[in-house]
Structure 1
């Protein structure tokens, strides 16, 4: 029984530690020709704040995970996640 609890706790901790952050995503996007890193950070933080204040954590995580995976093609690749986040949190900065 204890082993199952430790394994479950380990999986929860691992999943929490693997979340993408605005800072990490903007650092990765800094290699893209149309991304200004400082603007990415300020817009990303504003978007995260708006999402948190409106209870839109899941759509925000879905969007940022998509952007992290798509890198420079995020604009086209993450359109549905962006729409879902805008429907919940409002317009992007």
Structure 2
């Protein structure tokens, strides 16, 4: 029984550790020519706050995961996720 509990706890901790964050994504996007890191952080944090206050956690996570995966091509690659997030949380900062 204890073994199952520890395995389950380990899986939860592992999944939480792999979640993308605004800070991490902005750090990665800092390599892109059109991204200003400070603006990325302020806009990303404002967007996250807006999404959380409106109960849009899932669309936010899907959008930030898309941006993290697409890197410098995120503007073109993440339109579906952006639209879903805007439908829930409102327009982007």
With structure 1 as the length reference, what TM-score do the two structures score?
Answer: 0.96
Q: How far apart, in 1, do the equivalents of 2:4 and 2:70 lie?
A: 35
Report how many residues are paired: 93
- For the residue of structure 2 that corresponds to 1:32, the secondary structure is coil
Q: Which residue of 2 aligns with 1:22?
A: 22
Please list every run of 5 or more consecutive structure 2 residues that lacks an aligned counterpart in the other structure. Answer: none
Report Cα offsets for 1:6-61 as digits up to 9, x if no partner.
Answer: 11111011111111111110111011111111110110000000000001111101
Cα RMSD after superposing both structures: 0.7
| Counterpart position of 1:66 | 66
TM-score where L is the length of structure 2: 0.96
